[in-house]
Amino acid sequence: YYFPCQRWLAVEEDDGQIVRELVPVDEAFVKKDSENDGQSLATLGLEQKAKSTTYTVKVKTGDKKNAGTDANVFITLYGNKDDTGMASLVGTGQHLDEFTVESVDIGDLKKIKIGHDNKGNSTGWFLEWVEIDAPSLGQCLKFPCGRWLDKSEDDGAIERIIFPAELQTTEYIPFVPYEITVYTSDVFGAGTDADVFIVLYGSDGICTQQKSLCLNKREQRMYFERNSVNQFIVELEDVGDIIEKIRIGHKGGGLNSGWHLDRVAIRRLLPNGK
């Protein structure tokens, strides 16, 4: 079994997670003797990411006095097939926070467990609600809490299991993963450190949201170098079988924002892996 990662396990890098779920990929992808070993490993990471689901987690701390916490907060998402395992929510407890949790398919989201480790000077936390957006499921679910997670308040619990409020669930057409390959030209000064974004347009006026290809400034510095090829797996609205055009650009700013783009290749990844 081969479990590629190609991701940081670091609080200050990538999405801040220090634990990752890895799924096995086909041995054929691992070309140990090939000159393109680095490229094949990168492809492995992308193949694996295409099998994963990304959840956007919003956490709302209450407006009560001393409602925030400086303890380490964690969350586990439970579906009808599996759970995500414990994910860290670094820097929670400051009014409204947003995080990304990545996992293999856990099925329909049924409940969450959220809590903290009670370490710090001001650990008590009043949690108002948690909202979880699962684009691949086409669902945004609200988990109301309105209780303390504090050893000296309420029932003294510092972790709680919360169920979604059915009337507050928003349904939409599920997103699909696209493999986007960007080729930067081989001319002087072609690379950019700017925030590159893309929009896909299908027939009948359907289009995706505008989506940044990099997660953070560190990735912006790493990618889109002169004469480079960078691949991304991005979950976006499904524009159908035909992509009529794309809109790609960047947000400027910084010293090296100008970019000479050679071409872009896009593959829509359907459930059978094609």
**Cα–Cα distance, 71 to 124 (Å, whole number):** 8
Residue 185 has a pLDDT of 93
pLDDT exceeds 70 at position 231: yes
Q: How does pLDDT run across 111-143, given as a tens digit for each residue?
A: 999 999 999 888 899 999 999 999 888 999 999
Residue 32 has a pLDDT of 47
Question: Nearest 5°: CA angle at 268, between 33 and 17?
Answer: 70
pLDDT (average), residues 18-47? 59
> Which pair of structure tokens corresponds to residue 163?
């169920």
Q: How does pLDDT run across 40-56, given as a tens digit for each residue?
A: 555 555 666 667 788 99
pLDDT (average), residues 250-268? 87
pTM of the entire predicted model: 0.72
> Which pair of structure tokens corresponds to residue 97?
């926070």
**Cα–Cα distance, 253 to 224 (Å, whole number):** 15
**Cα–Cα distance, 228 to 69 (Å, whole number):** 43
Q: How does pLDDT run across 138-155, given as a tens digit for each residue?
A: 999 999 999 999 999 889
Residue 274 has a pLDDT of 44
Average confidence score pLDDT of the chain:
84
Check if the beta carbon of residue 233 is closer than 8 Å to that of residue 178. Answer: yes
**Cα–Cα distance, 73 to 135 (Å, whole number):** 24
How does DSSP assign 66-94, residue by residue?
A: T----SPEEEEEEESS-B---EEETT--S
pLDDT (average), residues 157-174? 92
Question: Domains (ranges, CATH) in the chain?
Answer: 2-38+174-268 (2.60.60.20), 53-171 (2.60.60.20)
Check if the beta carbon of residue 197 is closer than 8 Å to that of residue 183. Answer: no
Residue 148 has a pLDDT of 94
pLDDT confidence bin for 33, thresholds 50/70/90: very low
DSSP 258: -
pLDDT (average), residues 167-182? 90
pLDDT confidence bin for 98, thresholds 50/70/90: confident
pLDDT confidence bin for 18, thresholds 50/70/90: confident
Residue 271 has a pLDDT of 60
Residue 35 has a pLDDT of 46
Residue 204 has a pLDDT of 83
More confident residue, 34 or 242: 242
> Which pair of structure tokens corresponds to residue 147?
């209780």
